[in-house]
Amino acid sequence: MKYEALAKNIIKNVGGKENVNSLTHCVTRLRFKLKDESKANTEVLKKMDGVVTVIKSGGQYQVVIGNHVPDVYADVVAIGGFSASSEDSGQEKMSPFNKFIDIISGVFTPTLGVLCATGMIKGFNALFVALGLLSATSGTYSILNGIGDCLFYFFPIFLGYTASQKFKGNHFIGMAIGASLVYPKIAALTAAKPLYTVFGGTVLASNVNLTFLGIPVILMDYSSTVIPIILAAFVGAKIEKAFKKVIPDVVKTFLVPFCTLLVIVPLTFIVIGPVATWAGKLLGAATLAIYNLSPIIAGVFIGAFWQVFVIFGLHWGLVPIAINNMAVLKHDPVLATTFAASFAQTGVVLAILLKTKNSKLRSIAIPAVISGIFGVTEPAIYGVTLPKKKPFILSCIAAAIGGGILGFAGSNLYIMGGMGVFGIPSFIGPNGMDKGFYGAVIAMAVGFVIGFTLMMLTGFEDDIEETTTNNVKIEVKAETLVSPIKGEVRPLAVIKDEAFSSGALGKGIAIEPSEGKVVAPVDGVLTTLFPTGHALGITSDNGAEILIHIGMDTVELGGKHFTTKAKQGDRVKAGQVLVEFDIKAIKEAGYTLTTPVIVTNSDNYADVVETDKKSIALNEELLTVLA
């Protein structure tokens, strides 16, 4: 945890976690409700590195942190064991697709560093063997391969933890579910003689390897799978929550996990596994039918959707077809059409690497490109392209074109194994380098080039870096900020909030609104917009970070009397309406509306010069920041 030491000191000096009734946060500060404020060491907190000041207001003990308060809040919650109920918890409604992307991103983001590292190790290990530097039977190769394979093989355990975290379940229950899916003795039963077969004679024919309380269990290989454990963690969190309501507190510690695991693990094996297995078989049958109809159409279809199949674990439906083709035909044309997909993905990520100005994204993209060359694309998919959606779609388009070329050339796999560039020899048949081989090489190159080109020609949402969070100073330039509010101009000193009036959060000015409207003071990105509508932050195209806080303590209205006209992450133009608010109603509720407009990264500038006007209209010059 980045702010672990600071979080521990804050908890200690507010009187310990036992002195905290509740904790929320707003745009700049932690808002504690303490049982006894006299137990808090206010002067110690004020002098603490990382704390701007402390304010006692409205029954809250407010520890002012600054722009990176969400990160500090997360560490305070984790260390103190508080419930995560911040004031920004009101999430905007998302479409089902965006909801899916949000879940996938939340589940995979914590694993990205290790995912990239193990993918690179696996790729380099294969390279060492190909160059004759290592033998595939050596101890060195085995250990390096173990390091490279460990995360992928036991992925359900890692995702059990992160998925439970995302769904607000017990992390260790999630890990236990994942571990049960890859438990060696259960996994080994997939190769044992089946008890009997269900749906025999149909495409859904499945072997029953064991029963649970007389219920047939259809097993599959869950190593490296994704969707089954995510679904299991989601359902498990719901089951856990239900048991928490009925089990007495005195025995919750062990009885809640006990009951939850007894329900969710069998349910996963009995329901989730078979559904994934049957979906894969149906996909395999449909794909083979398409290939028999037209290899080119099949190549386009499989190439376009291969990465989607992998995400949902449906690709296992094609593997048996490929293995059967290898055994009967001594080659396989079906999986051959997927060869360009990893290169298309890698080309897109390379373009993002060259275009992005975000150092965090670049640090993920570099190892993703390296591992992608060797055929390991999980870091690229889950860390870069899927969260941004458009790049993932572009990679699918490029993979579809590559797949069509493979189908047209009649490319076949003659051996199973070898990913990425090491898959090229798999296309050399008994007759040597034929049309199919050259088609595979051309498809690989075309997929990469088209993915790269499409991404270079297409824009994407490049994340804005926060200077205070990442310790990275983005280039700043002199610029003029127009007034976001119409009203009377006041110095910051008049604000009855020390964090603003002292200039601790940045230089700026205050406005007493005469019209209930906030417009963008610059062209830039709306990096922060609280669901309550009371505060927003904008990062200008020239690097200025502007905070507009409508009134004091107006967060307590919970969004009442505020109407947002934009959403967080939007690009905005100077003068664009962002928020509307009811001045009369807010004042009648007992709140002051004096609004600070501050440049939170003013330390990056030589000076911030305020207007000398006593009253100001919308879009008139308000502040000038000097580089």
- Picking from 493, 495, 578, 500, the residue whose alpha carbon sits closest to that of residue 537 is 578
Q: Is 26 a catalytic residue?
A: yes
Classified as helix, coil or strand, 486 is coil
Cα distance between residue 518 and residue 290, in whole Å: 56
Q: Which residues pair with 94 in a beta bridge?
A: none
Query: What DSSP designation does 503 have?
Result: S
The two three-digit tokens of residue 297, written as one number? 């159409």
Radius of gyration (C-alpha) of the chain in whole angstroms: 29
SS (H, E, C) 447-485: HHHHHHHHHHHCCCCCCCCCHHHHCCCCCCCCEEEECCC
CB 217 within 8 A of CB 269: yes
Residue 184 φ/ψ, nearest 5 degrees? -55, -45
Which tokens is 99 given?
């909801």
Q: Which residue has the tokens 């690009």?
A: 571
Nearest to 224 by CA among 102, 336, 98, 377: 377
One DSSP character per residue, 550-610 reads -SSSGGGGTTTTEEESS-TT-EE-TT-EEEEE-HHHHHHTT----EEEEETTGGGSSEEEE
Buried/exposed 435-458: b ≥16 CB within 10 Å, e otherwise: ebbebbebbbebbbbbbbebbeee
Which residue do the tokens 């150092």 mark?
359
Characterize the bridge pairing of strands 545-549 and 595-599. Answer: antiparallel
**Residue 119, token pair as written in the block:** 């993918």
Dihedral over alpha carbons 105, 108, 112, 114 (to 10 degrees): 170
Residue 60 region by backbone torsions, left for phi larger than 0, else alpha for psi between -120 and 50, else beta: beta
Q: Which of 162, 152, 167, 148 is nearest to 238 (CA)?
A: 167
Axis-axis angle for helices 155-166, 96-108 (nearest 10): 120
Q: How far apart are CA 56 and CA 544, in angstroms?
A: 30
Residues 6+ apart with CB under 8 A from 277: 206, 218, 220, 316
Rounded to an integer, what distance in angstroms lies between the CA atom of residue 258 and that of residue 244?
12
- Of these residues, 26, 116, 150, 259, which one is catalytic? 26
Q: How far apart are CA 59 and CA 310, in angstroms?
A: 52
Phi-psi region of 214 (alpha: psi -120 to 50; beta: other; left: phi over 0): left
* Side chain identity, residue 626: L
Instruction: Answer for the pair 383, 284: CB distance below 8 angstroms, yes or no.
Output: no
Cα separation of 410 and 164, whole Å? Answer: 45
Cβ atoms 214, 235 nearer than 8 A: no
Helix (H, G, I), strand (E, B) or coil at 302: helix
Q: Which residues are catalytic?
A: 26
